[in-house]
A and B are shown apart, each in its own frame.
Chain A
């Protein structure tokens, strides 16, 4: 359990095997490599940076909104500008920041935590990044033209229909989100395949790090939650552009259908945003409490349970719509139940801290700040499960306060904490403790000053989404405080940014394992080499770097070809449940295909958006062709895959009978097809 063990274990592996493996995993440089890379770490970092840029833009948005509301009858923004900004703020934070930021962590960390060398589908991974970025560009670029979406982030029809919003604004929304959905869905599939097939030998399902569990549950949620959203957006786009009448009551359409479809996505989306963040908390707390996490099985079950139950509570966003009371009581009860898994997690974290030995590192500060803020958002969340109270304060500032406590407190705090925690691994640099503490306390204070008063202005009857409000309703003071808080929060986030910039500039060199981590990512270089692990370890527990067996496996594996995999650009495929080694798989290397596919889809979406249908069709055809090229089977010897145990024999029997060899290859190819 001493901190040096992981560093030492990694050092031995690197020394004995690093050179051999590195030949097949070259470092890439230059612009061309930047566009064509499929390295999960570069893509992960890029996801994080891009999502952070969108966070900054959407945050500045919000600062403008708060400035408008600092006094009654503010005149900084026109109503139209305000409405576009608040819509874009919500849409961007939900779709372009929260989930992509988690995906960034997932991309960077999943292969490292699992003890493998890349994602299951590296090219798909690059593709998801480019599509996400282009979708974000579409949404934010619309603001430059004053044509940003203006119907609120949940875009209720008929307001967003062709009759009441004839401009291009809501087309940007529906098409942008459909396009983004391509990225999110492919990314989710990639996470699931990676977590199921690429775990280090011995990492049975009950030894998978909680963060990975969180991400896998999130990925499953996305795969089931996105179809309703995509359906709704496709219908909206058809209504707006091609004259269908899905949402027009005068023609037999139904506006409540949109609300059902949207929230059938929207409520699971809350957990889609929060679960990866909770996974980060579950990664930080045991390391900084110096003991394994408490009640691991319950934590995992809690996450799976919340994933399932979250699909049964969407109507609590619609309690004021006028649905029958009986159905409201059902969804109210379900909304009560969905909080229980969060209670499990909360007390497992607290128990871990109380029975451990807490070290107040900067990541731990964010995790602890999260606990306090998240429980506040949690109790108001329970209140929203109570129908009469929900009907009173929904769509008021009380709900704005609530979901910022849940989403900013529950997701942004852990995400920033996660950046502090994994920053040394991502960049190879240490961050300053003083800057980290200042940034935490400023953000914590600014956050609470901004959002706590919103509970009160909401209870005092202030509705959300108003570009202005009259004086004399006792709202002035609370709005003033919220606005001042927003500036403090902004200052805190700038200090955070400064701390990271300072680290890049002058931060000390990070050792492989600066925190005494428990999971495999800390047994790699900081930042990791393209191959991550020179030797694929064997995992003996849920905290491999804290048990001697797993640590020893680095040195033991260095003597085994099956664990070094130095014959090519290879990684090890294992079985889904018990992580038994199956085959060594040759992985695709850098290629421009994902980028070209994403660009052609981007052009197709632009063509649809701007009504240049020729462009849309042409770009669509190009996309299909490129995808065809991408998927075209190339049955080379290497790519057919071979069992690791076979390799030794292969070299020994260099001139073995060609017949027998071929037979075996076919067999293994079949196995590969079934597994991957």
Chain B
């Protein structure tokens, strides 16, 4: 796995290629009603779990799916049988009240199945919760309409919409919201947990597989709820440590030229009132921290890839890309815009 590539060219669907054989491990799926074997797995599928929690839950799903399929099959067969059987004329319908039959099939049998499923689920519930791991890494996630602020306590690192985490180590997310309720959901890693106004919630992630896992807000949070995604980037510990060190540095000071001009645009224009770039005078707290913007793969919470074209389009009028987002159109001249983009591209 070439993890050295720059973040922005990291191909997101990388997992999907390696996943076909995985779902093929369950050949009986193909026999099932669900044509799930057609799913090649995506960056956001609960059926291609890579986190410890998600894997447990997926196991639970396949168990319940099997039981459900059986129950549905029984009912369908009984309905069809009742519909198609022919009685000889003259045979009267049976008039018994059938209480014993209903007690057995309607109460006792379902109760056994229900108790079984319930009991089986309890260890999983425990497993997805607090592992009480003293070596865990804590990350703060703050939901905003409609993006994610991510900070690493103790390191000064603040970023947005991209959560880097080390593999093989428990990561503890402290989930808070700056405005309305949101829900943090990276289905391949673990279950979702809401970000509730006035409260702090907790979620634990752990995976051994480096990769990029897409997630998105799962609690309706207003106009652009649909465009509030994020990526969790799991890296081997050394790589993660390097990333964290890099992110902790202030923004590089441009040596001159277009980029330096761009920094002036940023500091003197309206950018600085909402955005922060550590190491400059821009220290706004309303929008995402831009200190290492160029290291991120996407813009606007997973809405568009972080390329020069989209970046320029976003700055001049983000409302055409994500209508209703909090960033007003920036009436910059073409030269200013070019300079600003040139500067932003140095923020690696």
Question: Chain A: residues with CB nearer than 8 A to chain B?
Answer: 78-80, 83, 151-152, 156-159, 164-165, 249-250, 253-256, 289-292, 294-298, 320-322, 325, 328-329, 332-333, 336-337, 339-340, 343-348, 350-358, 360, 368, 371-372, 375-376, 379-380, 382-383, 385-389, 391-396, 455-456, 459-470, 472-475, 477
B contact face: mostly helix, strand, loop, or mixed: mixed
Contact between B101 and A460 (Cβ–Cβ < 8 Å)? no
Out of B54, B93, B115, B220, name the residue touching A156 (CB < 8 Å). Answer: B220
CA distance A295 to B98 in the complex (A): 6
Interchain nearest-CB distance for B302 vs A (Å): 8
Can you report 25 residue pairs joining A to B where beta carbons are below 8 Å apart?
A80-B223, A256-B196, A289-B93, A294-B97, A294-B98, A320-B183, A320-B191, A322-B193, A322-B201, A325-B125, A332-B121, A336-B117, A340-B114, A344-B107, A350-B75, A350-B78, A353-B78, A376-B72, A379-B71, A388-B53, A388-B191, A395-B219, A460-B47, A461-B46, A474-B39
Question: Which of B13, B109, B175, B183 is most buried by chain A, counting CB atoms within 10 A of its CB?
Answer: B183
Q: Which 4 A-B residue pairs are closest in the complex by CB-CB distance?
A: A249-B198, A461-B44, A466-B226, A391-B191
- Give a binary string over B57-97; 1 marks a CB under 8 Å from any A CB, 0 the rest: 10011001001100110011011011101010000011111
Contact between B46 and A460 (Cβ–Cβ < 8 Å)? yes
B136 lies within 8 A of chain A by Cβ: no
Contact between B122 and A329 (Cβ–Cβ < 8 Å)? yes
Residues of B within 8 A of A157 (CB): 197
B328 lies within 8 A of chain A by Cβ: no
B276 lies within 8 A of chain A by Cβ: no
Interchain nearest-CB distance for A152 vs B (Å): 5
A159 and B95 in contact, given A250-B198, A332-B121, A465-B220 (Cβ under 8 angstroms): no
Contact between A348 and B125 (Cβ–Cβ < 8 Å)? no
A389 and B192 in contact, given A156-B220, A348-B106, A459-B47 (Cβ under 8 angstroms): no
Residues of A within 8 A of B188 (CB): 461
- Name the residue of chain A whose CB is nearest to the CB of B186: A461
CA distance A385 to B247 in the complex (A): 42
Contact between B194 and A353 (Cβ–Cβ < 8 Å)? no
Interchain nearest-CB distance for A378 vs B (Å): 8
Residues of B within 8 A of A391 (CB): 57, 128, 191-193
- Name the residue of chain B whose CB is nearest to the CB of A78: B323
Out of A253, A337, A386, A460, name the residue touching B121 (CB < 8 Å). Answer: A386
Contact between A79 and B102 (Cβ–Cβ < 8 Å)? no
A158 and B114 in contact, given A79-B226, A387-B121, A389-B57 (Cβ under 8 angstroms): no
- Give a binary string over B265-305; 1 marks a CB under 8 Å from any A CB, 0 the rest: 00000000000000000000000000000000000001000
B180 lies within 8 A of chain A by Cβ: yes
CA distance A387 to B61 in the complex (A): 12
CA distance A356 to B121 in the complex (A): 39
Residues of B within 8 A of A249 (CB): 197-199
Residues of B within 8 A of A456 (CB): 34, 36, 39
A contact face: mostly helix, strand, loop, or mixed: helix
Given contacts A392-B61, A473-B42, 4 further A-B contacts (CB under 8 A): A296-B97, A298-B103, A347-B101, A461-B43
CA distance A455 to B68 in the complex (A): 13
Contact between B199 and A256 (Cβ–Cβ < 8 Å)? yes
B156 lies within 8 A of chain A by Cβ: no
B28 lies within 8 A of chain A by Cβ: no
Residues of B within 8 A of A368 (CB): 79, 82-83
Contact between A298 and B102 (Cβ–Cβ < 8 Å)? yes
Question: Which of A290, A295, A468 is most buried by chain B, counting CB atoms within 10 A of its CB?
Answer: A295
B218 lies within 8 A of chain A by Cβ: yes
B348 lies within 8 A of chain A by Cβ: no
Out of A328, A393, A468, A474, name the residue touching B125 (CB < 8 Å). Answer: A328
Contact between A255 and B191 (Cβ–Cβ < 8 Å)? no
Residues of A within 8 A of B114 (CB): 336-337, 339-340, 382
Out of A164, A346, A392, name the residue touching B75 (CB < 8 Å). Answer: A346
Residues of A within 8 A of B226 (CB): 79, 465-469
Residues of A within 8 A of B85 (CB): 358
Contact between B45 and A159 (Cβ–Cβ < 8 Å)? no
A353 and B106 in contact, given A292-B95, A467-B226 (Cβ under 8 angstroms): no
A353 and B82 in contact, given A256-B196, A336-B114 (Cβ under 8 angstroms): yes
